Amino acid sequence: MDKQQTRNFIASRVAKEFKNNDLVNLGIGLPTLVANFLPKDVSINLQSENGLIGLGPKPDEVNFDKDITNAGGQPVTLLDGGMYFDSTLSFSIIRGGHVDVTVLGSLQVDEAGSLANWIIPGKMVPGMGGAMDLVTGAKKVIIAMTHTNRGKPKILKVCTLPLTAKNQVNMIVTEMGVMSIKDDGIHLVEYNPEYTLDEIKNATEANLIVNNPIKMNVEV
Amino acid sequence: MKKLLKLNKLKDHVFDGMSIMVGGFMVVGTPEFVIDELVKTGVKDLTIICNDAGLPGHGVAKLISNGQVKTLIASHIGLNPEAGTLMSSGEMECILVPQGTLAERIRSGGAGLGGFLTPTGIGTIVEDGKKIIETNGKDYILELPLRANLAILEGSIVDEYGNVLYTKTTRNFNPVMATATDVVIVGARKIVKRIDPDSVMTPHIFVDYVIKEEL
């Protein structure tokens, strides 16, 4: 798979995790792609923390409106039934546990379900934006990311970068598999048959608990 | 209209070393024409409180480029590389605050609260130097209120009393900031006689001055 296929593969698998009427917040980047792969029989509500629910696709020239943007500042549209609100209500929704699922990318995730995705000291200082509130408040936190960064594992025993939150991640989806984080560690619950279990373990610094994982079923 | 202020009179309401809250999210909901005037005044050593650092050439990024900002309090500066460079070199102090915590700190400042308890940031460097309080068996960070000398907001529609309506995603931080500063200046895209009372998002009692955008 090339880079785009890998991203689509991960996004497509994440899209199977939602139930009807779930309120979902998708992070910028790879997680945004998840919206392209929603199953036809599942209808969800997408929230954007800058202040809307009912996030629709990118506008064309006709329905472009500079006053409607997502949390990345990109132009979007509002679906029928959607609405706008201010930042305090937006974060009451987020911190108050009203978001069913949040999907974010990450630089590192560890065995305790901690994640680091907002700063690389001395190199990259984007800031946490709404990420710390989202992973703390959402009922389910899914990390959608490539399994490694230039061959280096991102799923670690203990995160080395400054944390975004402690013990909040429930699931990791990569091009190699689907991992569930429980009290006893990271379980590989599904794997991509393009890789052997040894290859997946070798690309993971954390201890992977492997107990009859099933094959990932993803059409891209 | 009593509260109407000429754009070139903005200078009468700013001073070196002051703190300013600027509404908007990635410049959506930021009154660009008032920021341009603030650049013209040359006022310096500002503490800017804004969701982000704007976009290159837009919003508070203009103040940063012009060297007017001493301290930036924001949740995200990633879309303005210059802000990251100035932060790393120490030329501009940058205090990063989780977005929900930023909104709620401003709300506390405007609502007369002494602060609030949030689980956001527990176990991260955000909790450094702050009081951790346990209630019902869970740890929370005590976050303190935030206020400023001036708010610069964008109103999509303002009426002759100074009531404000914000359209679509321009609303974001604007209404809460209107409650948390000594002086509130609204840059108005459009002024009408009366906004339907049910549709008012910021009551006129919060608004000190309205500057009309020349479109």
pLDDT one-digit tens code per residue, A34-88: 999 999 999 999 999 999 999 999 999 999 999 999 999 999 999 999 999 999 9
For chain A, what is the domain count? 1
The reply to whether B205 falls in a domain is yes
> What is the span of the domain harbouring residue A46?
3-215
The reply to whether B117 falls in a domain is no
The reply to whether B199 falls in a domain is yes
Record the pTM: 0.97
Q: What is the CATH number of the domain that holds A177?
A: 3.40.1080.10
Identify which of A146, A141, A121 has the alpha carbon closest to the alpha carbon of residue A204: A146
Q: What is the pLDDT of residue B110?
A: 98
Closest CB to A130: pick one of B99, B118, B125: B99
Look up tokens 């408040």; give the residue.
Answer: A137
**CB-CB under 8 Å, B169 with A84:** yes
The reply to whether B104 falls in a domain is yes
The reply to whether B174 falls in a domain is yes
Are B115 and B108 a contacting pair, CB within 8 Å?
yes
The reply to whether A79 falls in a domain is yes
- Region A156-170: mean pLDDT is 98
**CB-CB under 8 Å, B120 with A137:** yes
> What is the span of the domain harbouring residue B186?
7-112+147-212
Give the per-residue SS3 of chain B: CCCECCHHHHHHHCCCCCEEEECCECCECCCHHHHHHHHHHCCCCEEEECCECCECCECCHHHHHCCCEEEEEECECCCCHHHHHHHHHCCCEEEECCHHHHHHHHHHHHHCCCCEEECCCCCCHHHCCCCEEEECCEEEEEECCCCEEEEEEEEEEEECCCCEECCHHHCCCHHHHCCCEEEEEEEEEEEECCCCHHHCCECHHHCCEEEECCC
Pull the structure tokens for residue B50: 């804004």
The reply to whether B135 falls in a domain is no
The reply to whether B132 falls in a domain is no
Cα–Cα distance for residue pair B142/B120, rounded to 1 Å: 10
Closest CB to B171: pick one of A84, A136, A165: A84
Cα–Cα distance for residue pair B211/B215, rounded to 1 Å: 12
Chain B: residue whose CA lies nearest to A164:
B124
**CB-CB under 8 Å, A85 with B171:** yes
The reply to whether B175 falls in a domain is yes
Q: With bands split at pLDDT 50, 70 and 90, how would you rate the model's confidence at A219?
A: confident
The reply to whether A118 falls in a domain is yes
Which amino acid, one-letter code, is at B78?
Answer: G
Q: What is the pLDDT of residue B23?
A: 98
**CB-CB under 8 Å, A86 with B176:** yes
Chain B hits for A94, Cβ within 8 Å: 100
pLDDT (tens digit, 0 to 9) for every residue of chain B, 215 residues total? 999 999 999 999 999 999 999 999 999 999 999 999 999 999 999 999 999 999 999 999 999 999 999 999 999 999 999 999 999 999 999 999 999 999 999 999 999 999 999 999 999 999 999 999 999 999 999 999 999 999 999 999 999 999 999 999 999 999 999 999 999 999 999 999 999 999 999 999 999 999 999 87
Chain A: residue whose CA lies nearest to B101:
A133
The reply to whether A220 falls in a domain is no
For chain B, what is the domain count? 1
Contacts of residue A105, defined as CB under 8 A and 6 or more positions apart, other chains included, come to: A27, A28, A29, A30, A31, A117, A143, A144, A145
Identify which of A166, A174, A189, A124 has the alpha carbon closest to the alpha carbon of residue A14: A174
Q: How close, in Å, is residue B1 to chain A by CA atoms? A: 27
**CB-CB under 8 Å, A48 with B169:** yes
CA distance readout (Å), B121 to A151, A162, A173, B93 = 30, 11, 24, 20
Q: What is the pLDDT of residue A58?
A: 92
- Please check the confidence at residue A120 and state whether its pLDDT lies above 90: yes
Question: In whole angstroms, what separates CA A16 from the centre of its chain?
Answer: 13
Q: What is the pLDDT of residue A220?
A: 73
pLDDT one-digit tens code per residue, A148-160: 999 999 999 999 9
Chain B: residue whose CA lies nearest to A115:
B124
Identify which of B145, B215, B212 has the alpha carbon closest to the alpha carbon of residue B9: B212
The reply to whether A22 falls in a domain is yes
Residues of chain A with pLDDT > 70: what percent?
A: 100
Averaged pLDDT score across all residues of chain A? 96
Q: What is the pLDDT of residue A122?
A: 83
Which amino acid, one-letter code, is at A79?
Answer: L
Q: What is the CATH number of the domain that holds B37?
A: 3.40.1080.10
Are A87 and B173 a contacting pair, CB within 8 Å?
yes
Catalytic (active-site) positions of A: 49
Are A176 and A127 a contacting pair, CB within 8 Å?
no
The reply to whether A139 falls in a domain is yes
Q: With bands split at pLDDT 50, 70 and 90, how would you rate the model's confidence at A129?
A: very high
Q: How close, in Å, is residue A66 to chain B by CA atoms? A: 8
Q: What is the pLDDT of residue B142?
A: 98
Q: What is the pLDDT of residue A124?
A: 83
The reply to whether A154 falls in a domain is yes
- Region A192-197: mean pLDDT is 96
Sign of CA dihedral A163, A166, A167, A168: negative
**CB-CB under 8 Å, A166 with B98:** no
Chain A hits for B172, Cβ within 8 Å: 50-51, 86-87
